[in-house]
A and B are shown apart, each in its own frame.
Chain A
């Protein structure tokens, strides 16, 4: 059974600081996704990582994927309050020809002024 573990699950940080969220998964994966969720809202796609060594950046967020280590990271640079949200990583493994996502439990991020 595929397991996806995120850490930390809760993170409180100050504006201007840097931090990294880690996502470990237990089996070979086809691809990995990062999503953001604001309270009461749906999931907003942040990054799709398709291959080993993939690195993508959008604003203050950068995601990377190491398929050999089965590890993805989401790095936050010079955090601002607007980045406060819950961040999920999700791993996609093709099962019987069909795709499905297995999510981590999410990292609840609070950025304080």
Chain B
């Protein structure tokens, strides 16, 4: 079955611009969560969506936002990009709630801010 699909794979943006990343979860998975990975801070939780609602949010500024559509696909948006936003952004899908299957991660979007 198809895995978690993230687009685009690579992105280069200029400081001050905004960017939108997309994540299509595994069919049947209703929860999508987003993570930022940097060499300095490691893997950090951004937010999680379930049934088009943000259920939880990590400790990131309001420039980071997201949404989820009725087909469970999710987008995250970063406005007013800063150099420190350069990172690998990973999304993970799961069936939702307490499940034994855990989380399946996509291949990620590598964002470079110049």
> In the docked arrangement, what's the CA distance between A44 and B28, Å?
20
Closest to B58 in A: A100
Interface of B is mostly: strand
How many A-B residue pairs have C-beta atoms within 8 angstroms? Tell me: 60
| Size band of the interface chain B makes with A | 20 to 34
| Size band of the interface chain A makes with B | 20 to 34
Of A33, A44, A98, the contact of B50 (CB 8 Å cutoff): A98
Using Cβ atoms and an 8 Å threshold, which residues of chain A touch B42? 103-106
Within 8 Å of chain A (Cβ to Cβ): is B45?
A: yes
**Min distance, Cβ A105 to any Cβ of chain B, angstroms:** 5
Say whether, besides A30-B98, A45-B102, A48-B102, A101 and B107 are in contact (CB < 8 Å).
Answer: no
- Are B103 and A41 within 8 A (Cβ)? no
Using Cβ atoms and an 8 Å threshold, which residues of chain B touch A43? 90, 92, 105
Closest to B108 in A: A42
Say whether, besides A41-B107, A42-B107, A95-B56, A103 and B43 are in contact (CB < 8 Å).
Answer: yes
Within 8 Å of chain A (Cβ to Cβ): is B106?
A: yes
The chain A residues found within 8 Å of chain B, CB to CB, are 30, 33, 35, 41-45, 48, 50, 88, 90, 94-106
